[in-house]
Structure 1
Amino acid sequence: MSFYSTNQQTPHVSLREAVTKGLADDNGLFMPLQIPELPHSYFEVIQEKSLPEIALDVSATLLRGQIERGVLQEIVEESLNFPIPVVPVHGRIHTLELFHGPTSAFKDVGARFMARLLAYFVKDSDKELTILVATSGDTGSAVANGFLGVPGINVVILYPHGKVSDIQEKQLTTLGQNITALEIDGTFDDCQRLVKQAFLDQELNQRMQLTSANSINIARLIPQSFYYFHAYAQVKHLSERVIFATPSGNFGNLTGGLLAKRMGLPVAKFIAATNINDIVPEFLTSGNFNPRASTQTISNAMDVGNPSNFVRLMELYNQNGDAMREDVIGYRFTDEQTKMLMREVYENHGYILDPHGAIGYGAIRDYLAMEPDAIGIFLETAHPAKFIDVVEEVIGQKVTIPENLQAVMQKTKQSTRMSHDYNDLKTWLLARA
């Protein structure tokens, strides 16, 4: 198994090179050259397997020949040491709770897996690695936590000033050690652009060894397939038709689900659920991909106007949008609709949604009205306490803050304010080289 660039202008590379580079030299994203399928018999017994067992089977199948199974076993057992349960909400609607990790967000799965995989690949290197990561909220904190204290690796997080929640910002800016936060005057799209420019800057790359921990890195993407398999294992006895609704911003999470489907996971339909930054739902409806400046919403982790992983979605379907529409349907929700959904679910069913999960819930609720025999799972991607001001205002009740989030709120923010001019970032990085 090797990896190719979505821009098709560079040679195929190994897993080690794909992970340590992050972005291909031609500015493309790495994808596996072949996507093997698990046998049908695997899904007949998948309900008997634990999350780490499933993750090991999936990753060992996909990465065969690139890394030893024993090493993978250590990585997945250390990475996935917390539960990811499917929880009934009402009727045929369930949620996959992805917030039981150390930073209370789904990105703990990908970040912890990537941190351990990258640490394995660089352990014998005599050159420090700098990870540049842009975040609209949860990516930065998950990456920071995953890489905290890892020898030979420094992490630089770029996040948009004033556009993340207080808890998210504290998680980004209070760790110290090998973690540095840059507070950018701009949007998430500006942060992502700066990171991509840095990867393509030859002078900078001669002075520093750079990689990314965003979902553009294949090591973040692969583990995001694991929990779709695990969720299916928990509900397969309920129906032959399982639908997933994935709250989506940069579309790494949905790409992980579609990767799982390509590997044989029998999912009937995927829903790309967005806020008003509805670039992909618009594409699924019109056939036109029209990236644009993002608009700020209460579901800030999804405020992405030019989703990087769209190119991977197209690769999975050989650039055939009609084929993608067979598997994926798009839904979008405004802030007011999101708030209504949060109130509805709390008042009628006693379940507290965060603004991102609410969008997933709305999509699965609306779609299941047309699918009387299916069951639906929406991804609850972050603990409601991470968006406590919005959630408490909407439902009119106090939200219990988990101990890990209470602890981080007592710490002092440490960040460096910076413009969205690339030259400022380059000067700052070179000064640290």
Structure 2
Amino acid sequence: MIQTLDRELQASQKRYDDLEDAVLEIENEKAIWVKQTDQLSRQLNDEAAKRRQFEQELHGAEVELAGHRNTSLLAEREMAKAEGEIKARDAEIALLRSRENKTVVEHVHVLESAKKMTDIQLREQVAENVRLNDVLKQNEKHRNRLISDLEDLTRQFNMLKASKSREARSARASLSPEEKDVNMVLEDERKARKIAEARVASLEKDLQDQRRQLSTASLSSPSRNLTNLEVKLAKRTEEVTKLQSAYDALQVQNQQIESELADLRRSSIRSASSENHNRSDLLRGLQQSHDALGRDMSDQLRKLEAQPLTPSRRHNTSFSNGNTMSPDVHSAKRIRSLENEIAGLRQQVDDEREEKELLWSQLKQVEGNGDSKSPFPYEQAVYSHFRLKAKTLRSHLDHWLAMGDLNAKGSAAMVTSTSGQQIAEDMQALKLLLSKLDPETSPLRVP
């Protein structure tokens, strides 16, 4: 019985040992699985972090791709726009090349309308300048009055300050030492307060100056182009004034030549020979040529004083139609028209100077050839007299041909009654010039 129990106990102990071994193996496997689970969780976290990083990189790449697509679309649009502009420029170049030998009459009307508009704006600006000058004078008077009042107040303040200082000195002389110490402390505090107030006032003034500079900097940039154009306009006006002074000098020289011609004519009339008679006729012709030249120069100067340098009184059709342009464009067109007028005046002065020099040289030749065979040829005198007439005639003919082309096209730009009257006057001037160019009616005809 005891043996049986021992065997059962041993068997139970063996089963218990086997169970403990199995439990140990299970716990080892559990520890291994826990380690694997921790490792897998760490790998999962790493993979999730990598996934988030890759997703962020993918999102950034998508955003960058969208930006590149937008940039490419903008570039394609700009390329298409540039191609359209290139085609338009090519068409414009082709049109200009086709018109390079033709007279474009529309440009004349555009320039005339721009000149009218600029003249109106110039007149308005002159009125505004007059008004501002009056306001400035009133402000000057007010400033002078305020300055005199300030001087009176300053004198009164100085007198009051001197009396107060005398009273303070007499009061300080009667004070005790303790009261003097207290007075010194009060004076120091008063000085410190004045210094602080002056510092605050200077800081406020600096702040106001900075604000004023910012406001003027923001307002000065739009008006800088207009100021430059006004400076250019003043320069062009000064050049016109210089040309007019040169014209006056030429008139003085022409008067001297006229007096010398009169002396030579009187001396030639006294002689009785045929050669002197021909010379007197030639001098008389030169005198008539000189008078005609002077009248032409006076007419040109009167036209210049009447039209380009004063505001135009004609009605501006562009304003009535509602066409408005910027002040910078008006000023630029005004300056271009003044430059053209100045160039024309310079050319006229040069031509008149050449004509005067030619007449002077011929006059000297006549004076020096008193004992020679014959004076200068008749054809040369005719050319000298009518050279400027031919230039004027050529310009008039160009204008009339252009107006004829405009009427032939039948465009919308109809010729007004004023322009018709101008054409009639120009036709009369043309007939007069043609009659002067006729050798039969020439003042230098052969006697």
**Higher-RCO chain (CA-CA 8 Å, sequence separation at least 6):** 2
Larger Rg: 2
Give TM-score, length-normalised by structure 2.
Answer: 0.19
Structure with greater proportional strand content: 1
Structure with greater proportional helix content: 2
